[in-house]
Amino acid sequence: MSGNLSISSGKYERIVFSPEENKDINIACGTRQLLSINRVDFEAYDITRRIFNESVTRQTVDGIKVSLKGEEEEFVRSSYHVTLEMKVADGIMFGLGSHYDGYKCLNGIDLPLYQENLKISIPFFISTAGFGCLIQNGSYMRFDNTTEGIVKIYVDCADILELYVFAGTVDEIHASYMEVTGKTPMLPKWAVGYAQSKERYQNAEELLSVVKRYRQICVPLDLVVQDWLYWDDGLWGQKSFDKKRYPDPKSTIDKIHELGAKVMISIWPNMNGDGPDQREFKEKI
């Protein structure tokens, strides 16, 4: 299937691609060409599941880790790798979430999209040429603009591919995007202020002293983060404080609140040392 599609400014269109129905589409907003979908390739493959029959336990700096051995493969179902290729109008592209690669914009880069520590991938980008694209898929993806004027999206797993194309100003595109995804509640004012964190504060006195120092030198501070190892020695991931180093956590936090700051406590899901939380967890699984 091929053709021309016109999107009014401030509006969007949902386009669905499947192995059975492919589309070459020129997309415009009024007389302005936004992008052309050159090709959508579906490559069939089998999804398999690995079955393990042996576990290996080891102690690491992050606590006890368990790895699995003796794997066998079991067929789950068939799916597709998808390649979407678009010719895009000249403009500067931004988006795709929060990444630590140090780029200023998306032009000219090849960017993998997946979730990990310090990396938050959102398959949505906008262009100063007056359009935005949302690729509705939750699998691993890659954005490739290493060829000028061409955007390739590689999708690791899809039965169909949904593409939302938005037209208009940046504000209009964001408004249309929220129609599709839902509106994000406004964060409280303190949450957009400065947050102080380090690896790590050793005790309650140090944590409180940091906030006091910020107030003394008149540097704005809205949040201080207590990172790991605040628990009793050896009780990895325990959700309570070592009473020797944090004798009265409520009093410490109340004092920080009196200084006009909030406290965030980093919690760790992996547990070790047979502490109260770990014992409760074992009883309930």
* pLDDT tens-place string over residues 88-131: 999 999 999 998 888 889 999 999 999 988 899 999 999 999 99
- Banded model confidence at residue 49, pLDDT cuts 50, 70, 90: confident
Is residue 197 over pLDDT 90?
yes
**What integer pLDDT is reported at residue 2 of this predicted model?**
63
Structural tokens at position 174: 């964001």
Helix (H) or strand (E) holding 72: strand 72-88
Output the CA torsion sign for 201, 202, 208, 209: negative
pLDDT at 170 over 80: yes
pTM: 0.76
- What are the structure tokens assigned to 8, written together? 């009014």
Confidence of residue 63 (pLDDT cuts 50, 70, 90): low
Is the confidence at residue 184, as pLDDT, over 90? no
Furthest CA-CA distance within the chain: 72
Q: H or E segment at 110?
A: strand 110-113
Please give the average per-residue pLDDT across 176-198, as a whole number. 92
Lowest average pLDDT, out of 1-15, 183-197, 258-272, goes to 1-15
Per-residue pLDDT, averaged over 46-51, amounts to: 86
Residue 69 has pLDDT above 80, yes or no: no
